[in-house]
Structure 1
Amino acid sequence: MADMRRLLVSLCLLATALWTSLPARAEDPATLIANTLRIESESRLVADGAVEIYYQGRRLTAHRLVYDRAADTLTIDGPITLTDGGDTVILASQAELKADLTEGILRSARVVMSQQMQMAAAEVRRIDGRYTDMSRVVASSCKICAGDPTPLWEIRAQRVVHDQQERQIYFDRASLRFGGVPVLFLPRLRIPDPSLKRANGFLMPSLQSSTTLGTGLSLPYFVTLGDSRDLTVTPFLATKGARTLELRYRQAFRTGEIELTAVGSRDALKPGQTRGLLSADGRFELPKGFELTFHGETVSDRAYLLDYGRSDKDRLTSRLEITRTRANEHISGRFLSIQSLREDEPSDSLASLFGDMTLKRRFSLGPLGGQGGLTFQTHSHTRSSDDPFDTADDADLIADGRDVLRGRIRADWRRDWIAGNGLVFGVLGEVTTDLYHIGEDATYGGTYSRTHGALAAELRWPLVKAGKAGVNHVLEPVVQLVWAPSGTEALPNEDSVLVEFDQGNLFALNRFPGSDAVERGARANIGVNYLRQDPDGWSLGLTFGRVLRADDPGQFTTGSGLAGRSSDWLAAFQIGTAAGLGLTNRFLLDDAFALTKAETLLSYDRPRFGLEAGLLFHKADPAEGRLIDTNEIVLDGRFAIGQAGWQARLMNRYDLKADRASNAGLGLSFRNECLSVDLSLSRRFTSSTSVKPTTDFSVSLELLGFGGAAPGPSRQCRG
């Protein structure tokens, strides 16, 4: 009956629409729905019970409404809810509004923006459908619980104006309070409303403290330069005299984006000098599926990044690259520039400029069968020095001025046959031709060519067993016989000095990572793989094997695990569970089962707890630049504290050989629907002639609910 009565009232209203004159224009009709409707005089209409008005995208709900035709006003009794078609909702107990709902007064009102920011006011005035003028206001984006009505933070103001067109909120005589305690008074304050992603103004400051610079404050200012550009200006002042100005410029284009950063500093560490950094990043989509990316960075001196806690990089790499990857094809071209920040590495004898071009294609070989590949590659690198000899400045057995230009063509092929009993027989091979031109080198200067090939026969026998409850086991022994010439001409090796022996290249034809060296001689790669998969989500993988050679080519160092006629034993396993636990381990063991290398990685990822830990051991190998054993542990963890949004972090890098930490850090963060706090403490224990051990502390605080900042988990009320 109630629904029928509401329908009849609505029809009655439509029949008398000309009399009511609620719609301002014929093309914008108003709709009024109520439980009861009565006309008390020629100019007075009263609607009672579940009143709803729809007009020009606005919606109002109330308990009672009185329309005065002569004054063209609405007198409304609440509870009242007014939405304007956007993200703003006004709640009130009583209101007097114009018939089009664009102007008027609402009393005991609350304004909710984007379901985040709430403002309670004694009185709210609607002006021209654009401004919301509030008096005696309390604003916050924090959830308020009945048992604890004080929000984490609030802004109290005598007057607040919300400009819905410009999406700005203006506070007059405002005070910021935390837990009800005033901490800051601001005569004037302007902030963006939650629907605005970008606006001119100050961003949240951050406090930093270090033993090198003292205590300092950063106060970023954000400037919009149209819809696609912006600039952030960040001054930083510290108690020990450091002064820094950082500029960050961003621009979005139709096909890409760029970001430019410039930082200048003056401090007491290097009196009278201007220190700083420059960086540029960008990405653009080019015609025919190509993509252009670039990254460039440079600093004024070796210690700047560490002194200001920006990075612990010891080399800076700038890059310009064009790539395209499609089915069976990859094309790339790039230029690289390297700036060394290491104390013992002269920059003029370091290869600092690189150029590469690569074309790779995969294809079927038709009647021959199998899959083939063709790679064409060019490479060059230069040094700023023109000395053709290796001087005592670095003593690295490389001429200080050596420049290299290389061209390469590589073809590879593989085909497999499967027997009826499941045996997989494969034949694979590759041929590579290199052409080198070496300059500024008294030993290797000149033009060289090298052609090298390898041919292998491989036998695999995957044995599959289906266990109980859907568990699958796969055991696969593998034997691979490789023939390669042993008399290939030796060329200077710069890009293949460090060789890793792992489960990924146990059955590879060439284990050198670069192009300067190729693996020579006949050999047998033998091993076994095992995989267990459980439908409950956990898996176990094992690999065990080694390399046996006809003769020792003398190409590998003892630290690589590949030296001699017989390599070290490779043992690797990997465990993963549905609960987020992962464990990866790799060992290299000699015939006496002494460790050459060991790497263990442990990870555990859950919503309230996360851990990443690593244990590394590398045997000393002067040929790889390790004069002593490397033995260290790395730990990075996080865990939630209680249910209130607190999270702790721990980071440590410890050198077990030297029995001291190299880096350590602690962090504490809090985030909920209205507040984000981050505190971090770190200590760097290492030192050099240009940097000293330092301790850094930083604090950042952000009030969420402004300018589209993403809120965290909402506060949970108790009781």
Structure 2
Amino acid sequence: MLRAIIALLLLAVFAGHPRDGIAQSTGAATLVADKVWIDNNNTLTAEGHVEILHGTTRIKATRITYGGTDGALRIDGPITMIEGDDIIVLASSAELDREMQNGILRGARMVLSQQLQLAAAEIHRVNGRYTQLYKTVASSCQVCAEHPVPLWQIRARRIIHDQQERQLYFDDAVLRVLDIPILYLPRLRLPDPTLKRATGFLTPTFKSSSKLGWGLKIPYFIKLGDHADITLTPFLGTKTKTFELGFRRAFRSGDISFEGALSSDDILPGRDRGYFFGTGRFELPREYVLDFDVEITSDRDYLLDYGYSSKDRLDSAISISRARRDKLLEIELTHYHSLRLSENNDTIPSLVGNLTYHKRFVPDMIGGDASLRFDAHSHYRTSNIAGNLGRDLTRASLRLDWRRKWTLQNGMVASLLGEINADYYSVSQGLAGELNGSQITPAAAVELRWPFVKTTTVGASVGASHVLEPVIQLVWSDSTTANIPDEDSRLVEFDEGNLFSLSRFPGADRYERGYRANVGLTWTRYDPKGWSLGVTVGRILRAHNLGQFRASTGLDGRNSDWLAAVQLKLPNNLTLSNRSVFDNDFDFAKNETRLIWQTDKLKIGSSYIWMKAEPYENRPLDTSEWTFDGAYDFDPNWTGKTDWRYDFIAGDAAYAGIGLEYRNDCVKVDLSLSRRFTSSGSLTPSTDFGLTVSLTGFGSNTSGRSRAHRCRNYN
């Protein structure tokens, strides 16, 4: 009988009722306690390790009493109330109505999303939606007894937490840093930590530049429903007045994003400057995808002056594509605008169209792997000058290639390769004698690979595996060629990725021709101690020197230069790689070295590159540059960053930057200083300084938290 009475009382007291805007679980609550009794006044009392479970709400207390004419619920603490995954309320005592929608909690503290703590003398619950805190302190720093003075805090006469809208409203708010008053606001509204998007101010940024002076960016975010938003950012500086705008919109089948700025500054006084970038992507029927991007700027230096982008060629494009397991179709139209002083937009291809269809298949009769590729390309220059400065060109190319391999009894892997290319050219404003018509270029090759595998069984390297693979590829292709203008095969690379290719030209305007042998050797060692070493060496031997390549590529002459590539991986997360192209006298045409080292505290990346000058590739001077970037965690809170680029040909640094970041559970401070040393045309050296301070605990950004904060009395 007693159990039935208790069940009925609990059903009446703790049954959930739906409220406007807040979904509640219906049904009886579960009560667990050391002792439960009902006295002569029909007052129910639960005592000792009391716990109530009702929907997503969980209450722990020392004693709970229900009874009287008002049906009030009186709870003696310490009290812990957990609502879902985001809200924890701690209190010394409480009085709630029978539905737990209204009431008072005394000596209370509320923790939101394990980030923001709000301590108050008294908390009032109103209609199950609003939580009113009086004489309140808010901070994402620890405010437990062992940390009585947080790094920052907001004191307020009253804070209202709207659980439905996930907003915090402050009355008479004072921001204090190290307990020193910094800012007073009579009214303040901030999102709680569970809200990802809400209209309001974002973290401001202080910036200083030798060109723009010092100034402050104050972004304001505007939520336009669940699928769109705008960010307005005034940038007020001593030498510039800038307004930035960002817009995002998500659709059922895609999204668009735009950003831009408009400036009036002392760099170009009396002239409006600005830029506009936009991107979009949409899924179309039958697995097609539409992509587009727009890039516009007012002058050559605007993007670099304001740090919006380091691009020196802008491309605005629209494309439709479909990629399947064995087919690719892409149609693209691109407009290029160069910001380089060395390039004239009238004489470079400004409007470029491409169509690509690629299909892979297995031939029924001969087996192997085959592919069919069709490309159509057209570009237009605004210049009317004949030749390289004004040539307009349209090309259609069809390629059929095939490859099949066999494993022989002695372990050799033999392969046959073949391809045939058919190209049609239509040239206007070209030079006399340039091809207007078609050409066919066949090629064939036989390849032999002989991999050897050995595992060390004696000595200090027991268990180490060695893989040695010599490769020879005998290639023939038609040695005759038509007079075709070279528009897309100027940037030739020679590396381990194309050592065994039928052609090392990147585009369709050139094919490697004649009889030749591609020879190479790879050796890889895998050590059981966790490190590995790989080496590749090779070169190309030709029957005749047809003068197809420039000297700087390392591919010219009857025999090419040597290609050597090395990669070392150590168990301490250190990776070292090097690629070199050099002749028999070790005169280097190209050399590139890259080092990466990453530990729990240290991240380092460094590169060195050397290339001979090649005017044909728009490199009139030798290239010799060293770059370095690194980050080091001094402790869980402090991180130092640096990056550097040095030009050995100019004998001076090209760029240098340092940064210092401080993070703890409640604040993130990011300090940066950078210097661009290069000077060309109107682009002059400049120094930039930036400072950003973020208080964690408002909104969904938790990047500044170095550790989750906990208080002993609710662990």
Please tell me the TM-score bracket, short chain as reference: over 0.9
Question: 1:136, 1:461 → 2: CA distance?
Answer: 81
* Cα RMSD (Å): 2.2
Match of 2:441 in 1: 452
Contact map agreement 2:525 2:534 (CA 8 A) in 1: yes
The 8 Å contact of residues 434 and 483 in structure 2, kept in 1 or not, is answered as no
Q: Does 1:562 align with 2:555?
A: yes
Partner Cα distance (1:30, 1:164) in 2: 22
Provide the rounded CA distance (Å) in 2 between the counterparts of 1:380 and 1:537: 51
Give the alignment of 1:649-668 within 5 angstroms.
649-668=641-660
- For residues 492-517 of structure 1, give each alpha carbon's deviation from its aligned partner in whole angstroms, at most 9, with x where no partner exists: 00111121111111111100011111
Mark the CA change 1:706 to 1:108 in structure 2 (over 3 Å): closer, same or farther: same
- Residue of structure 1 in register with 2:374 after alignment: 376
| Equivalent of 2:517 in 524, 528, 532 | 524
Q: What residue is the counterpart of 2:279 in the other structure?
A: 281
Aligned to 1:393: none
- Counterparts in 2 of 1:604-615, with a 5 A limit? 604-615=597-608
TM-aligned CA deviation for residue 10 of structure 1? 5.7
Query: Using a 3 Å threshold, how does the CA distance of structure 1 residues 523 and 22 change in structure 2: closer, same or farther?
Result: closer
**Higher mean displacement: 531-540 or 125-134:** 531-540
Any conservation in 2 of the 1:55–1:100 contact (CA below 8 Å)? no
Please tell me whether the aligned partners of residues 434 and 485 of structure 2 are also in contact (alpha carbons under 8 angstroms): no
User: What is the rounded CA distance, in whole Å, between the counterparts of 2:210 and 2:376 in structure 1?
Assistant: 48
| CA deviation profile, 1:287-329 (whole Å, cap 9, x unmatched) | 2222222222110000101111222221112222222222222
Contact 2:399 2:419 (C-alpha < 8 Å) held by counterparts:
yes
Contact 1:324–1:330 (8 Å) recurs in 2: yes
Matches within 5 A, 1:551-590: 551-590=544-583
* Alpha-carbon displacement from aligned partner over 1:151-194 (angstroms, at most 9, x marks no partner): 22211111111011111101111111222222222221100111
Aligned partners of 2:35 and 2:472: how far apart in 1? 89
| CA distance in 2: counterparts of 1:498 and 1:24, whole angstroms | 71
Kindly indicate whether the alpha-carbon contact (under 8 Å) linking 1:9 and 1:34 is maintained by their aligned counterparts in 2: no
Equivalent position of 2:243 in the other structure = 245
What do residues 58-104 of structure 1 show as CA deviations (whole Å, max 9, x unaligned)?
Answer: 33221112223302112211011223446222110011111211111
AA partner of residue 40 (structure 2):
S
**1:191-236, Cα deviation, whole Å (9 max, x unpaired):** 0111111111010100110000100111111111111011111111
Provide the rounded CA distance (Å) in 1 between the counterparts of 2:408 and 2:323: 35
Q: If the length of structure 1 is used for normalisation, what is the TM-score?
A: 0.93
What SS does the aligned partner of 1:375 have?
strand
Query: Given the alignment, which residue of 330, 347, 350 partners 1:332?
Result: 330
AA aligned opposite 2:116: M
1:349 alignment partner in structure 2: 347
Please tell me whether the aligned partners of residues 672 and 715 of structure 1 are also in contact (alpha carbons under 8 angstroms): no
Q: Is 1:89 the counterpart of 2:100 in the alignment?
A: no
Match of 1:435 in 2: 424
- Segments of 5+ residues of structure 2 without an aligned counterpart are 18-24
Q: Does 1:156 align with 2:191?
A: no
Superposed displacement of residue 35, structure 1: 1.6
Query: SS state of the match for residue 384, structure 1?
Result: coil
Deviation for aligned residue 1:379: 0.6
Distance 1:190 1:698 in 2: 27
Deviations, residues 494-544 of structure 1 (Å, cap 9, x unaligned): 111121111111111100011111111111111111112234443221110
Corresponding letter in the other structure for 2:429: E
Q: Is the contact between residue 651 and residue 664 of structure 1 (CA under 8 Å) also seen in structure 2?
A: yes
Residue 466 of structure 2 corresponds to residue 473 of structure 1: yes
Letter in 1 for 2:325: A
Q: Quick check: 2:522–2:536 contact (8 Å CA) kept in 1?
A: yes
**Greater mean alpha carbon deviation, residues 450-459 or residues 216-225:** 450-459
Which residue in 2 is equivalent to 1:139? 138
Query: 1: distance between equivalents of 2:13 and 2:233?
Result: 56
Alpha-carbon distance, 1:576 to partner? 2.0
Q: Tell me if structure 1 keeps the 8 A contact 2:295–2:314.
A: yes
Matching residue within 689, 692, 707 for 2:684: 692
Figure out how many residues of one structure are paired with residues of the other and give that number: 700
703-712 vs 275-284, greater mean Cα deviation: 703-712
Structure 1 residue matching 2:436: 3-state secondary structure: strand
Q: Is the Cα–Cα contact under 8 Å of residues 278 and 299 in structure 1 kept in the other structure?
A: yes
Whole-angstrom CA distance in 1 between matches of 2:62 and 2:300: 72
- The 3 A distance-change label for structure 1 pair 550 and 94 is same
- The code of the aligned residue for 2:6 comes to L
Secondary structure of 1:306's match? helix
The structural deviation recorded for 1:279 is 1.0
Report what 1:268 is aligned to. Answer: 266
In the other structure, the counterpart of 1:61 is 60
| Contact 1:9–1:37 (8 Å) recurs in 2 | no
Aligned to 1:48: 47
Please state whether the residue corresponding to 1:346 is helix, strand or coil: coil
1:588 to 1:502, Cα distance in 2 relative to 1, 3 A: same
Describe the shift of the 1:31–1:622 C-alpha distance in structure 2 as closer, same or farther (beyond 3 A): closer
Aligned mates of 1:120, 1:371 — CA distance in 2: 70
The answer (yes or no) to whether the contact 1:673–1:715 under 8 Å persists in 2 is yes
Deviations 1:27-81 (A, max 9, x none): 6334333222233332433221122233454332211122233021122110112
Question: What secondary structure, in the 3-state scheme, does the structure 2 residue paired with 1:490 have?
Answer: coil
Alignment partner of 1:255 is 2:253: yes
- Structure 2 vs 1, CA of residues 9 and 698 (structure 1 numbering), >3 Å: closer, same or farther? farther
Aligned twin of 1:120:
119
Seq. identity, %: 47
State whether structure 2 residue 667 is matched by structure 1 residue 675: yes
When normalised by structure 2's length, the TM-score is 0.94
Does structure 2 retain, via aligned residues, the 8 Å contact 1:9–1:33? no
Report whether the alignment pairs 1:305 with 2:303.
Answer: yes
Q: Does structure 1 conserve the Cα–Cα contact (< 8 Å) formed by 2:435 and 2:482?
A: no
Q: Distance in 1 between matches of 2:28 and 2:144?
A: 41
- Unpaired runs of 5+ in structure 1? 1-7, 390-397
Q: Which digits, 9 at most, give the CA deviation of each residue in 1:243-269, with x for residues without a partner?
A: 111111101111111101121111121
Deviations 1:130-161 (A, max 9, x none): 11111111111123576543222211111111
What is the one-letter code of the residue matched to 1:672?
N
Write the distance in 2 (CA, Å) between the matches of 1:24 and 1:640.
Answer: 50
Question: How many angstroms does 1:334 deviate by?
Answer: 1.2
Alignment partners' CA distance in 2, 1:607 and 1:289: 43
SS of 1:14's equivalent in the other structure is helix
- Which secondary structure state, in structure 1, belongs to the residue aligned with residue 318 of structure 2? strand
Is the contact made by 2:391 and 2:429 (CA closer than 8 Å) also made in structure 1? yes
For residues 675-711 of structure 1, the C-alpha deviation after alignment (integer angstroms, 9 at most, x for no partner) is 2221111100111221210000011111112111124
